[in-house]
């Protein structure tokens, strides 16, 4: 009997041990489940849906085109987007210095193709007067490069060196057909010359063709700043901020806005040896390519000319006797922004204005409604987090556009970006968007 009880007890012990082992094995995947579940909550991407393109402050260019299609004139368009301002005739013969190449180490200047009976003059005099150091013909190419704290220059023709020039801290370039040629003592403010020539300036940042003004290459720091000095009216002819195929009233409104921008920025910046850059940090300036654009270039020239009141005056937007801080952009989410909501500074003429044209799919097929897919890795990098589990808009303006975006990682860390940084880092078109809920 005792042996049977012992055997029974042994069997029970064995059964219990087997059951405990089975239970332990069964619990292993259960214990591992939480980490697997956490990993599953990290979405591979986020989906944004929105409207508009740009910062949303000032004149909506799509809106201006829509108003032109409805028969409104340029004055109405300007007054609509900049309420409380005045459209006045002011001198546009002031000189503006446009930076066309920033901090480069070399540059090449030659006559543009199609201009065969023209000359280029080169001067090293600080006062801009000619010293006959260079007199090139239509085949001449001037090459400039940094040599210490100076710029060395040489002239070649048909592939052969014509003459080298001693290194100088700056060089001035003049060409046939400008009011500065052959002697800049006459100034740059005369009528548009005819016949004219166009030069081609090539640097590491690209190539631009120039019809007006005089070019200067100058050492700033240890590199070259290339600038073109011209009158405001000549500058506006090369500004490329709106398609030249658009309606005249819209183009005229843009010409007025671009002229106003130039007038408001006539302060020399030492960092670029310029008043304005030729890129969108100021206005996109493409020189002669704007007015010579095949088929439509003359539309822009006509719009600029239509906003000139006489040979020395043209229309600009003023507030309290000064040119306004003018801004413009492509399109928005149905209403423009207040400047204080975007840049922290309030201007009485940069306020919320209704813009139904931006939401018209026929006027704005690309940006009336858009969608962007943001990849997990890119989002995590933008917020400097190991990963991002949730992405949320945590602050908005009165127009319902985002101002602050908050990301949360799987380990509970959070980070925030202003909408400006968020758009830049992740290439988001505008501040008017929503973040779709995750369904992973």
Collapse the DSSP code of 45 into the 3-class scheme (helix H, G, I; strand E, B; otherwise coil) and give the result. Answer: strand
Determine the structural domain holding residue 207 and report its residue range: 95-304
pLDDT at residue 27, rounded to an integer: 46
- Same domain flag for 165 and 297: yes
The answer to whether residues 215 and 226 touch, using CB atoms and an 8 Å cutoff, is: yes
The answer to whether residues 175 and 119 touch, using CB atoms and an 8 Å cutoff, is: yes
Strands (E), 242-324: 276-277, 308-310, 313-319, 322-323
- Same domain flag for 408 and 332: yes
- Same domain flag for 154 and 224: yes
Q: Which of 304, 319, 351 delimits the end of a domain?
A: 304
Please state the domain count of the chain.
Answer: 2
- Same domain flag for 282 and 173: yes
**pLDDT beneath 70: ranges in the chain:** 1-40, 117, 125-138, 182-194, 439-440
Residue 164 located in a structural domain: yes
Q: For 354-379, b where at least 16 C-beta lie within 10 A, e where not — what string?
A: ebebbbbeebbeebbebeeebeeebb
Residue 85 located in a structural domain: no
- Same domain flag for 177 and 238: yes
pLDDT at residue 47, rounded to an integer: 97
- Helices 376-383 and 419-426 cross at an angle (nearest 10°) of 140
Residue 6 located in a structural domain: no
- DSSP-derived secondary structure letter, 139: T
The answer to whether residues 419 and 431 touch, using CB atoms and an 8 Å cutoff, is: yes
Alpha carbon dihedral 176, 266, 55, 354, in 10-degree steps, equals -100
Residue 13 located in a structural domain: no
pLDDT at residue 190, rounded to an integer: 52
- Same domain flag for 390 and 252: no
pLDDT digit string, tens, across residues 366-409: 999 999 999 999 999 999 999 999 999 999 999 999 999 999 99
The answer to whether residues 338 and 346 touch, using CB atoms and an 8 Å cutoff, is: yes
pLDDT at residue 183, rounded to an integer: 61
- Same domain flag for 391 and 258: no
Residue 9 located in a structural domain: no
pLDDT digit string, tens, across residues 251-262: 999 999 999 999
- Same domain flag for 289 and 435: no
pTM of the predicted model as reported, rounded to 2 decimal places: 0.87
Residue 73 located in a structural domain: no
- Same domain flag for 293 and 337: no
Cβ burial of 117 (10 Å; 0-12, 13-18, 19+) is: exposed
- Same domain flag for 409 and 291: no
Residue 312 located in a structural domain: no
- Same domain flag for 51 and 113: no
Q: How far is CA 19 from CA 5, 8, 12, 105, in A?
A: 21, 16, 10, 80
The answer to whether residues 280 and 226 touch, using CB atoms and an 8 Å cutoff, is: no
Q: Report cis status (omega within 30 of 0) of the bond before 195.
A: yes
pLDDT at residue 132, rounded to an integer: 47
- Same domain flag for 295 and 400: no
What residues have CB less than 8 Å from 293, skipping those under 6 apart? 244, 300
Cα–Cα distance measured from residue 248 to residue 254, given in angstroms and rounded to the nearest whole number: 10
Residue 154 located in a structural domain: yes
pLDDT digit string, tens, across residues 189-205: 555 556 788 999 999 99
């Amino acid at each position: 009997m005792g042996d049977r009880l012992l055997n029974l007890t042994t069997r029970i012990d064995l059964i219990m041990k087997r059951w405990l082992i089975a239970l332990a094995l069964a619990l292993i995947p259960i214990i591992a489940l939480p980490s697997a579940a956490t990993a599953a909550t990290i979405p591979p991407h986020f989906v944004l849906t929105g409207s508009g393109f740009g910062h949303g402050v000032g004149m909506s260019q799509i809106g201006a085109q829509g108003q032109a299609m409805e028969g409104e004139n340029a004055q109405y368009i300007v007054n609509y987007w900049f309420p409380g301002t005045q459209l006045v005739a002011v001198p546009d013969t002031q000189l503006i210095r446009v930076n066309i190449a920033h901090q480069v180490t070399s540059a090449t200047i030659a006559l543009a193709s199609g201009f065969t009976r023209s000359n280029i003059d080169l001067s090293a005099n600080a006062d801009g007067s000619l010293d006959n150091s260079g007199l090139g013909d239509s085949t001449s190419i001037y090459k400039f490069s940094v040599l210490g704290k100076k710029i060395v220059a040489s002239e070649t023709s048909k592939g052969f060196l014509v003459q080298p020039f001693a290194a100088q801290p700056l060089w001035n370039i003049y060409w046939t057909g400008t009011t500065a040629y052959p002697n800049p003592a006459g100034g740059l403010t005369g009528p548009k010359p005819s016949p004219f020539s166009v030069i081609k300036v090539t640097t590491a940042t690209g190539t631009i063709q120039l019809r007006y003004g005089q070019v200067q290459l100058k050492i700033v720091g240890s590199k070259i700043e290339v600038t073109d000095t011209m009158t405001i009216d000549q500058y506006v002819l090369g500004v490329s901020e709106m398609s030249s195929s658009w309606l005249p009233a819209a183009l005229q409104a843009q010409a007025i806005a671009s002229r106003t921008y130039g007038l408001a920025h006539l302060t020399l910046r030492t960092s670029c040896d310029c008043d304005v850059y030729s890129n969108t940090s100021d206005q996109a300036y493409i020189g002669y390519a704007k007015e010579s654009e095949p088929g439509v270039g003359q539309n822009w020239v006509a719009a600029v000319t239509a906003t000139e009141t006489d040979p020395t005056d043209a229309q600009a937007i003023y507030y309290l006797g000064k040119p306004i801080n003018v801004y413009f952009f492509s399109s928005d989410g149905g209403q423009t922004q207040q400047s204080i909501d975007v840049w922290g500074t309030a201007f009485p003429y940069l306020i919320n204005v209704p813009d139904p044209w931006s939401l018209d799919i026929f006027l704005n097929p690309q940006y009336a409604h858009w969608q962007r897919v943001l990849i997990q890795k890119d989002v995590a990098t933008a917020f400097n987090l190991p990963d991002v589990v949730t992405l949320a808009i945590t602050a908005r303006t009165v127009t319902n556009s985002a101002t602050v975006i908050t990301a949360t990682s799987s380990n509970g860390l959070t980070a925030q970006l202003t909408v400006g940084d968020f758009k830049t880092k992740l290439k988001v078109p505008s501040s008017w968007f929503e973040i779709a809920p995750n369904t992973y």
